[in-house]
């Protein structure tokens, strides 16, 4: 396994690999790797000749006052997990290598990047799309792997990849959870024992919503939002949003009637930690 920091060096390696006909799979991450990331890496390992994991805490996707500085960084643990999983390259650029002085170019996905997390974290998806676009140009993957845990992110990435004709297939992978249902996240490391025990309310509320939809078959989106809200409100320190949306367009919807696939997404704070989770409900 090679660890490479310089974009130009990686790009030359990628060109050689492509020239020799190797299929490259990329798993973009911010490090502090856990079993959620591992599931993406394992899938990439199965489907490609060469697996690249990028580890980059991307300053452009954090707003002032967010956790950029204190975001967990565990490089040694990350490398040993990657080695165990048979990763070929870790790409770990430094911020100034991706964003030199006088950096002016961005990828901005309108509309779907401006709702939900895009509304509470203005500019977040511009930062995400820009860095992922840069990674695509540097690593030149055939396929790139993303978790459904960050559902809106996966939609934003699919959209700009298609809109801007990046020759990359976007593969989405299921949410990996703790035994009690809490979605794995690098940010779970911030939670106190008390916050951790309250955080499970998100998953429980999503399960309850899913059962209600299965049982009733035709319900208003508002009634689902209310059920979720009632289940979380006494446990979360603040609810950021509870949204019911079309799973592919992220359009807001009024009724859940089985006619299309929908996503129910929640963002809430436990202490200072903002957690997100979601479930997909298939249409018929």
Task: List residues binding ligand AMP (CB under 6 A).
Answer: 29-30, 36-37, 39-40, 146-147, 149-150, 173, 175-176, 183-186
1 vs 171 by CB, closer to ligand AMP? 171
Angle 75-84/35-47 helices, nearest 10 degrees?
Answer: 40
60 vs 253 by CB, closer to ligand AMP? 60
Give first-to-last CA distance, the chain, whole Å: 45
29 vs 79 by CB, closer to ligand AMP? 29
Torsion-angle region of 31 (φ positive above 0: left; ψ -120 to 50: alpha; else: beta)? left
Catalogue the active-site residues: 37
**Shortest distance (Å) from residue 150 CB to ligand AMP:** 4
**Shortest distance (Å) from residue 77 CB to ligand AMP:** 13
Q: Find the residue with minimal CB distance to ligand AMP.
A: 147
> What does the longest C-alpha to C-alpha distance in the chain come to?
58
Query: What is the Cα gyration radius of the chain?
Result: 19
Task: Specify which residues 122 forms β-bridges with.
Answer: none
25 vs 36 by CB, closer to ligand AMP? 36
**Shortest distance (Å) from residue 12 CB to ligand AMP:** 25
Question: Do 29 and 54 contact (CB within 8 A), yes or no?
Answer: yes
Alpha-carbon separation of residue 213 from 37, 128, 139, 203, 232 (angstroms)? 30, 33, 42, 15, 18
**Shortest distance (Å) from residue 117 CB to ligand AMP:** 12
């Amino acid at each position: 396994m090679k660890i490479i920091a310089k974009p130009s060096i990686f790009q030359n390696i990628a060109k050689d690999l492509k020239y020799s006909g190797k299929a490259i799979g990329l798993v973009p991450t911010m490090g502090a790797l856990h079993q959620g990331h591992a599931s993406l890496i394992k899938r990439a390992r199965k489907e490609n000749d060469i697996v690249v994991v990028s580890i980059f805490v991307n300053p452009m996707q954090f707003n002032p006052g967010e956790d950029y500085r204190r975001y967990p960084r565990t490089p040694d643990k990350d490398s040993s997990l990657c080695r165990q999983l048979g990763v070929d390259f870790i790409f770990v650029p430094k911020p100034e290598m991706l964003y030199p002085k006088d950096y002016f170019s961005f990828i901005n996905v309108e509309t779907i990047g401006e709702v939900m997390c895009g509304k509470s974290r203005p500019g977040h998806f511009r930062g995400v799309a820009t860095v992922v676009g840069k990674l695509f140009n540097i690593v030149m993957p055939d396929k790139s792997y993303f978790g459904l845990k960050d559902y809106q992110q996966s939609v934003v990435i699919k959209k700009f990849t298609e809109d801007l004709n990046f020759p990359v297939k976007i593969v989405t992978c299921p949410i990996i959870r703790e035994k009690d249902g809490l979605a794995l996240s690098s940010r779970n490391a911030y939670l106190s024992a008390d916050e951790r025990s309250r955080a499970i309310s998100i998953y429980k509320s999503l399960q309850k919503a899913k059962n209600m939809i299965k049982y009733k078959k035709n319900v208003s989106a508002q009634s689902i939002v209310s059920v979720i809200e009632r289940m979380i409100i006494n446990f979360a320190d603040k609810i950021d949003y509870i949204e019911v949306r079309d799973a592919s367009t992220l359009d807001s919807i009024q009724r859940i009637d089985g006619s299309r696939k929908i996503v129910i997404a929640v963002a809430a704070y436990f202490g200072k930690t903002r957690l997100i989770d979601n479930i997909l409900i298939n249409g018929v």
